[in-house]
């Protein structure tokens, strides 16, 4: 019984940290299609979304995301506060700067018993991009606390066990081509796969290993964006910030998404990588994930996000196993800046005898000022041969 209790405590601790760090970064919202934005390159330096905002993206962040407290005509124009560094001073047009700070409190229970509650610092990063003609150089540097190590160590530059570490989630150089419709780049890049949703420990992100908190890989990518179509493909050379080399995955990953109208899109994703050894299996492993995703809005206040992926794993001498994962979220904007969301997810891992898991999220988020938002999540997960967990998350985040 004592051993079982210890296992439950360890499981709940890891899951609690995982879910808490999942709370969103104020930078990537696939439900922006409710406002007619089916692409990402207009507002983000990364053509597939997330990361640094362009000046236009900063303006739209204030005009479309944040709650307004008056009805003056001046609200049709962004305030000085929406500018870089909160608009305190002019910066060269060739320079983009940003920063992200996320912290909060967690309560986690297993089988109805509270097992963990504490404050966590989840992210503290700075980022910048320099544009010189058609050339771009982009990078970020931050500090990850020891509590967030399980979901930051793949991005770590240092290896201080039990202490804070320096992390760099992205760093790349790129070249704009074809009147800026094409971006060719190389470096440590977000993997172009599926929805770029902020719940990065949702199973569609964690099991495909395509979250943008730490799962970036080094390689080369080419992206194309037009008014109705966007795509990106990447040659994965491995995560050079992870050692030893036998665990580095190499292969290809990419997506293509078509805008069916101004508010609805549909896309497909493919991923195929091989590593000499997997983190969960010492044998040579060929891993695949293939799926489809959509962003649907028939009514401006309501957006549905859906993704379904097949998970295929082939380990040397062990044959091939198939699993699946799925994600469905309904986001309702009650009034400008205040969102209610319900999310359901399912998972069957690609291994013999794998149990089926089910999860549900209830979320309230409020973009109460430009650059600031608060979020509360209640998350329940069951199945997968583990105890039922209930996690309560409260967080505050800001970005420059």
Q: How far apart are CA 345 and CA 154, in angstroms?
A: 25
**Which of 49-53, 100-104, 173-177 is least confident?**
49-53
C-beta atoms surrounding 68 within 10 Å? 13
Confidence of residue 87 (pLDDT cuts 50, 70, 90): low
State the DSSP string of 125-173.
Answer: EEEEEEEETTEEEEEEEEEE-GGGGGGTGGGBSS--TTS-EEE-S-EEE
Please indicate whether residue 4 or residue 83 has the higher confidence score (pLDDT). Answer: 83
Confidence of residue 54 (pLDDT cuts 50, 70, 90): confident
**Which of 1-15, 19-33, 353-367 is least confident?**
1-15
DSSP 396: E
* pLDDT > 70: percent of the chain: 88
Check residue 399 and give its pLDDT. 81
Check residue 332 and give its pLDDT. 97
C-beta atoms surrounding 69 within 10 Å? 10
Average pLDDT over residues 72-81: 59
pLDDT digits (tens, 9 = 90+) for 177-226: 999 999 999 999 999 999 999 898 899 999 999 998 899 999 999 999 99
pLDDT digits (tens, 9 = 90+) for 312-371: 999 887 889 999 999 999 999 999 999 999 999 999 999 867 899 999 999 999 999 888
Cβ-proximal residues to 129 (8 Å cutoff; 6+ apart), any chain:
45, 52, 95, 96, 136, 137, 138, 139
Place of tokens 């109460």: 368
Best CA proximity match to 255, nearest among 298, 204, 213: 204
SS3 assignment, position 400: coil
Check residue 85 and give its pLDDT. 64
Cβ-proximal residues to 185 (8 Å cutoff; 6+ apart), any chain:
136, 172, 173, 174, 175, 220, 221, 222, 223
- Taking all residues of the chain, what is their mean pLDDT, rounded to a whole number? 87
Peptide bond into 244 cis (omega under 30): yes
Check residue 6 and give its pLDDT. 42
Check residue 4 and give its pLDDT. 42
**Which of 11-20, 144-153, 282-291, 294-303 is least confident?**
11-20
Q: What is the rounded radius of gyration, in angstroms, for the C-alpha atoms of the chain?
A: 21
Taking the mean position of all CA atoms in its chain, how far away is CA 257?
A: 18
């Amino acid at each position: 019984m004592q051993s079982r209790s210890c296992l439950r405590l360890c499981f709940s601790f890891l899951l609690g940290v995982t879910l808490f760090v999942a709370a969103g970064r104020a930078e990537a919202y696939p439900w922006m299609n409710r406002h007619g934005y089916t692409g990402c390159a207009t507002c983000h330096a990364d053509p597939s979304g997330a990361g640094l905002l362009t000046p236009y993206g900063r303006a739209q962040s204030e005009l479309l995301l944040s709650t307004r407290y008056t009805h003056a005509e001046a609200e049709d124009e962004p305030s000085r506060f929406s500018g870089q560094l909160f608009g305190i001073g002019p910066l060269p047009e060739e320079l983009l700067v940003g920063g992200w700070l996320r912290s909060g409190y967690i309560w986690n229970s297993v089988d109805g018993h509270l097992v963990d509650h504490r404050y966590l610092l989840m992210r503290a990063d700075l980022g910048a991009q320099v544009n010189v003609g058609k050339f771009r150089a982009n990078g970020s540097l931050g500090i990850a606390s020891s509590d967030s190590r399980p979901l930051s160590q793949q991005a770590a530059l240092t290896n201080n066990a039990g202490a804070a570490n320096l992390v760099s989630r992205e760093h790349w150089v790129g070249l704009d081509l074809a009147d800026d419709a094409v971006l060719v780049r190389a470096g440590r890049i977000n993997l172009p796969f599926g929805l770029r949703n902020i719940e990065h420990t949702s199973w569609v992100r964690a099991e495909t290993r395509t979250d943008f908190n730490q799962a970036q890989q080094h390689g080369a990518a080419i992206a194309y964006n037009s008014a109705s179509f966007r795509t990106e493909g990447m040659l994965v050379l491995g995560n050079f910030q992870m050692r030893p080399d036998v665990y580095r995955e190499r292969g290809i990953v990419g997506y293509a998404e078509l805008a069916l109208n101004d508010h609805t899109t549909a896309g497909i994703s493919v991923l195929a990588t091989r590593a000499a050894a997997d983190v969960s299996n010492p044998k040579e492993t060929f891993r695949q994930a293939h799926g489809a995703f959509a962003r649907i809005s028939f009514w401006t206040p309501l957006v549905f996000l859906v993704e379904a992926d097949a998970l295929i794993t082939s380990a040397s001498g062990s044959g091939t196993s198939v699993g699946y994962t799925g994600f469905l979220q309904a986001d309702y904007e009650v009034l400008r800046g205040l969102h209610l969301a319900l999310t359901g997810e399912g998972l069957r891992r690609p291994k013999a005898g794998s149990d089926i898991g089910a999860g549900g999220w209830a979320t309230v988020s409020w973009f109460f000022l430009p650059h600031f938002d608060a979020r509360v999540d209640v998350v329940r997960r069951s199945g997968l041969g583990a105890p039922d967990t209930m996690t309560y998350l409260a967080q505050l985040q800001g970005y420059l």
